[in-house]
Chains A and B, each alone.
Chain A
Amino acid sequence: MLRTEQFTINIGPQHPSTHGGLHVEAVMDGEFIVDAIVHLGYVHRSVEKIAESRTYPQYVPYTSRLDYLASHLPTLGYCQAVEKMLGVAVPERAEYIRIIMAEFSRIASHLLFIGSCAIDLGATTGLIYCLRDRERIMDMFEMTSGQRLIASYMRIGGVSEDLPDTFIPAARSFIADFPEMIAEYDGLIIGNEILQARLKGVGRLNADDAIAYGVSGPNLRACGIDYDIRKAEPYGIYDRFDFTVPLAENGDSWDRLLVRMEEMQQSIHIIEQALNQLPEGEVKAKVPRIIKPAEGIEVYHRIESSKGELGYYIVADGGEKPYRLHVRAPSFINLMVLPMISKGGKLQDIIANIATLDPVLGESDR
């Protein structure tokens, strides 16, 4: 028998499929993963510390940069957290616009998820088709906020500007074309037997471990746990909409993909309802220019972002700036299960696992 040796290999931070700077130190036995250690912090920008030197409204653009793939969602969470501190009521129309934007962000994020999942498994063309359709959402963001990726559209007390006239037709046409897009992804990506073989049974996460690790979002629902903050603790006006929470059973990579596919359809469903109910009126509440929550106010607000439970913990000290701000980043916590689900798998499986856990490094490294 020849002597064999384990070796360590650094997957990332400079690697084609580590989603922008994830560093995994993998101990390998041939093609098999013996152990994996996730090193975070490569794109650390001290976003939490920056908050302490910015006033409350000034911090809004930075939150967009947390999860840049769904930039409306983290902004929404932050604005709602500050509104909670101040006790500001947001105008109806703004609430609806926020929901529409948030759900479109979720779709944009999931579209990129499916595309990047395809390209990480080697199917380049799948990514391009997803990006093509995502561009339409980006165009809508550009219409409303003027920016495509990092929108900074929400404001404390509402949104920065009302929807332009072109937005609603664009949104409706996107909704109308959506089944066609889904059919294309179904044919090219989801229905592909090679892809199914690579994802089914890979990176299985069982429900107990998921809860123990604090996994949230689609990754948790793929394990079969019915937990969605939009339902469990509705924020904004989510309680007015009718939608289901898609669930799967096995918690493997394949289920994580399917859950997200289904979630996009639900988001479309929510947007449709919101568009139909959209009332007229103001889009921004009267908020004082200088925001000074009283000393000692602490607030934790969480929303269901496209990656999971996104929470903001803000402590005020009576000044214009937060005393401390903490972000509970879902990507960060979801990534912690990566070593567990990758052990014993192959090198190719760890790539699939990273892809289907859908981390965004801007958020997990902060």
Chain B
Amino acid sequence: MEHFFLNIAHSLIVWLMGLGLSSKGADLVLLIVQWICIVAIVTINVIVLIWLERKVAGFMQQRLGPNRLGPAGMFQTIADAIKLLTKEDIIPSAADRIIFRTAPIFFIIIAVMLYVVLPMGDGMQIVDLNVGVFYFISVASLSTICLLMAGWGSNNKWSLLGAMRSVAQMISYEIPLAFSLLGVIMIAGSLSLSDIVAAQNNIWFIILQPVAFITFFIAATAELNRGPFDMPEAEQELTAGAYTEYTGMRWALFFLAEYTNLVAVSALASTMFLGGWHGPWLPSWIWIIIKTYLVMLIFMWMKWTFPRIRMDHLMSFSWKVLIPVTLANILVTGAGIQFLAGMGW
């Protein structure tokens, strides 16, 4: 079980080489297969996640959540997807058509790109970049541009307000997000995600870096535009924020991308802090799934409990609280590492 997927990949390569392909060509085919797998994983995950989110919200509100279609309402999301596909695709006449159309596509592409560096199990990583964490953060920050494109392109005041909010928010929270990961990177001594997982063989970084975990979690919530930091969408204020003018599948793509981001960031959190794929008894890829889903459940739990924070509080919280705390954390971590090194550890 442990090497189930690796074995599949290996036998695929062997078979391809047997067909007379060079090893480079076989690798290329494998890469394509991996990409298809990622897209499939993303879509299935989103279908499950939307269902899960509705169920979680339902249970918290003492309801049942979706329960009509399929076992425990499992197929509700699929029905919704079909509904969205058949909806009329409306583009406002005053919209900037190119930007309006491309924004959701870029958004989902960027979301899928995040998966390249995530280790989904022991040795299950598409590319083991030696700057994996850096890659992740920089790609994740690109999604701001898509929201801005959506807001600007729709030519709607609500959308523009949502887009401006998202830019302000994402830029402010990128910094604490990166800073809180720095502590982990310093301890692991590497930017590569597989090295960081390997460094957690004995002890998870959540124990060594509890403050960093909390700040990371808060900053990630803001990065993901999830409640209580769902400023760009802010249903009760901005109707639907940057997505106001989107209909049908374009809107669904935004939705898809948001959940894809959620999975990616949760997977990153479990990789950086919760020991990645390490865990007893079960195969490594099951462990990462369990941990990712646990993190996501906490995200949902927070979203359905808290009211939305106010824009200026959001900004001042980032600049006045999160960034100083993360900086202090880096300082303490660095001092600790030096001290322990001096002790001869």
Residues of A within 8 A of B (CB): 7, 9, 15-17, 30-31, 118-126, 128-129, 132, 188, 192, 194-195, 197-198, 346-349, 351
Please indicate the chain B residues that have their CB under 8 angstroms from the CB of A197 in the complex: 309-310, 313
Instruction: Indicate if the CB atoms of A194 and B306 lie closer than 8 Å.
Output: yes
Q: Which residues of A contact B258 (CB under 8 A)?
A: none
**Would B304 and A125 count as touching, CB distance under 8 A?**
yes
The secondary-structure label for the interface of chain A is helix
Tell me, yes or no, whether B239 is within 8 Å of chain A by CB: yes
**Which of A9, A124, A125, A348 contacts B310 (CB under 8 A)?**
A348
Q: Beyond A122-B230, A132-B62, is A351–B309 a contact (Cβ under 8 Å)?
A: no
B-side interface residues, number (CB < 8 Å): 29
B307 and A121 form a contact (CB under 8 A): yes
CB of B338 within 8 Å of the partner chain:
no
- In the complex, the answer to whether A16 meets B307 with C-beta atoms within 8 Å is no
For A348, what are the chain B residues with a Cβ–Cβ distance below 8 Å?
Answer: 234, 237, 308, 310-311
B273-313 interface with A by 8 A CB criterion: 304-313
* List of B residues within 8 angstroms of A349 by Cβ: 310
The reply to whether B305 and A198 contact each other, CB–CB distance below 8 Å, is no
When the two chains form their complex, are residues B305 and A188 in contact, meaning their CB atoms are under 8 A apart?
yes
Smallest CB-CB A-B distances: 10 pairs: A122-B308, A121-B307, A123-B307, A128-B61, A17-B236, A122-B307, A195-B307, A9-B157, A348-B310, A198-B310
A124/B228 contact (C-beta < 8 A), A7-B157, A194-B306, A346-B312 known: no
Q: Mark B134-169, 1 if CB is under 8 A from A, else 0.
A: 000000000000000000000001100100110000
> 21 A-B residue contacts at CB 8 Å?
A9-B161, A17-B237, A31-B161, A118-B307, A119-B236, A120-B236, A121-B236, A122-B228, A122-B230, A122-B234, A122-B306, A132-B62, A194-B306, A194-B309, A197-B309, A197-B310, A198-B308, A198-B309, A347-B161, A348-B310, A349-B310
Residue of A9, A118, A119, A348 contacting most chain B CB atoms (<10 Å): A348
7 more A-B contacts (CB under 8 A) besides A16-B235, A122-B227, A195-B307? A17-B236, A121-B236, A124-B304, A128-B61, A197-B309, A198-B307, A348-B237
A195 vs B238: C-alpha distance in the bound complex, in angstroms?
Answer: 18
- Whole-angstrom distance between the Cβ of A117 and the nearest chain B Cβ: 9
A132-B62, A192-B306 are contacts. A124–B311 as well, Cβ < 8 Å? no
Q: For the complex, is B321 an interface residue (Cβ under 8 Å from A)?
A: no
**Is the C-beta of B84 less than 8 angstroms from some C-beta in chain A?**
no
Chain A residue at minimum C-beta to C-beta distance from B317 = A197
Known contacts: A122-B228, A125-B61. The answer to whether A346 contacts B236 by CB under 8 A is: no
A128 partner residues in chain B, CB cutoff 8 A: 61-63
Q: How many A-B residue pairs have CB under 8 A?
A: 80
Contacts of B305 in A (CB 8 A): 123, 125, 188
Q: Does B57 contact A (CB under 8 A)?
A: yes
| Nearest B residue (CB) for A118 | B307
Residues from chain A with a CB closer than 8 A to the CB of B312 are 346
Chain B neighbourhood of A118, CB < 8 A: 307
Taking CB atoms, residues of chain A closer than 8 Å to B309 are: 194, 197-198
| A192→B307 contact, CB < 8 A | yes
**Are B311 and A194 closer than 8 Å at their CB atoms?**
no
A29 to chain B, nearest CB (A): 12
Tell me whether A351 and B310 are in contact in the complex, defined as CB-CB below 8 angstroms, given that A9-B158, A125-B60, A194-B228 are known contacts: no
The distance in angstroms between the C-alpha atoms of A122 and B165, with both chains bound, is 16
Cross-chain contact A123 with B61 (CB below 8 angstroms): no
Contacts of B313 in A (CB 8 A): 194, 197-198
- How many Å lie between the Cα of A16 and that of B161 in the bound state? 16
For the complex, give the distance between the alpha carbons of A144 and B225 in Å: 47
B310 partner residues in chain A, CB cutoff 8 A: 197-198, 346, 348-349
CB nearest neighbor in B for A195: B307
What is the CA–CA distance of A347 and B157 in the complex, to the nearest angstrom? 12
**CB-defined contacts of A16 to chain B, threshold 8 Å:** 235-236, 239
- Residues from chain B with a CB closer than 8 A to the CB of A195 are 307
A201 to chain B, nearest CB (A): 11
Do A123 and B161 contact each other (CB < 8 Å), given the known contacts A128-B61, A346-B311? no
With A7-B157, A9-B158, A128-B62 as known contacts, state yes or no: A123 contacts B237, CB within 8 Å: no
The residue in chain A whose Cβ has the minimal distance to the Cβ of B158 is: A9
Given contacts A128-B61, A346-B311, contact A351 B306 (CB under 8 A): no
In whole angstroms, how far apart are the Cα atoms of A30 and B167 in the complex? 14
Report how far A124 CA is from B307 CA in the complex, Å.
8
- Of B157, B227, B308, B310, chain A has the most CB atoms within 10 Å of the CB of B310
Cβ–Cβ < 8 Å partners of B165 in chain A: 31
Q: How far is the CB of B241 from chain A (nearest CB, A)?
A: 11
Complex alpha-carbon distance, A132 and B61, angstroms: 9
With a cutoff of 8 Å between Cβ atoms, the chain A residues found around residue B161 in the complex are 9, 31, 347
Residues of A within 8 Å of B235, CB to CB, are 16, 122
A54 vs B161: C-alpha distance when bound (angstroms): 49
Q: Give residues 179-234 of B contacting A (CB, 8 Å).
A: 227-228, 230, 234
Kindly list chain B residues whose C-beta atoms are within 8 Å of the C-beta of A7. Answer: 157
Whether B237 pairs with A347 at a CB distance below 8 angstroms is yes
Q: In the complex, what distance in Å separates the CA atom of A133 from the CA atom of B43?
A: 39
Tell me, in angstroms, the Cα distance from A231 to B201 when the chains sit together.
71
Note all chain B residues with C-beta closer than 8 A to A123.
Answer: 305-308
Chain B positions 306 through 329: 1 when the CB is less than 8 Å from some CB of chain A, otherwise 0: 111111110000000000000000
**Nearest-CB distance from B131 to chain A (Å)?**
35
Within 8 A of A (CB), among B220-272: 227-228, 230, 234-239
Residues in chain A near residue B57, CB distance under 8 A:
124-125
Please give the distance in Å from A20's CB to the nearest CB on chain B. Answer: 14
With a CB–CB cut-off of 8 A, which chain A residues contact B227? 122
Contact A194 B237 (CB under 8 A): no
Q: How far is the CA of A128 from the CA of B237 in the complex (A)?
A: 19
The one of B63, B236, B306, B311 that contacts A31, using a Cβ cutoff of 8 Å: B311
- Bound-state Cα–Cα, A132 to B62, Å: 9
Closest to B231 in A: A348
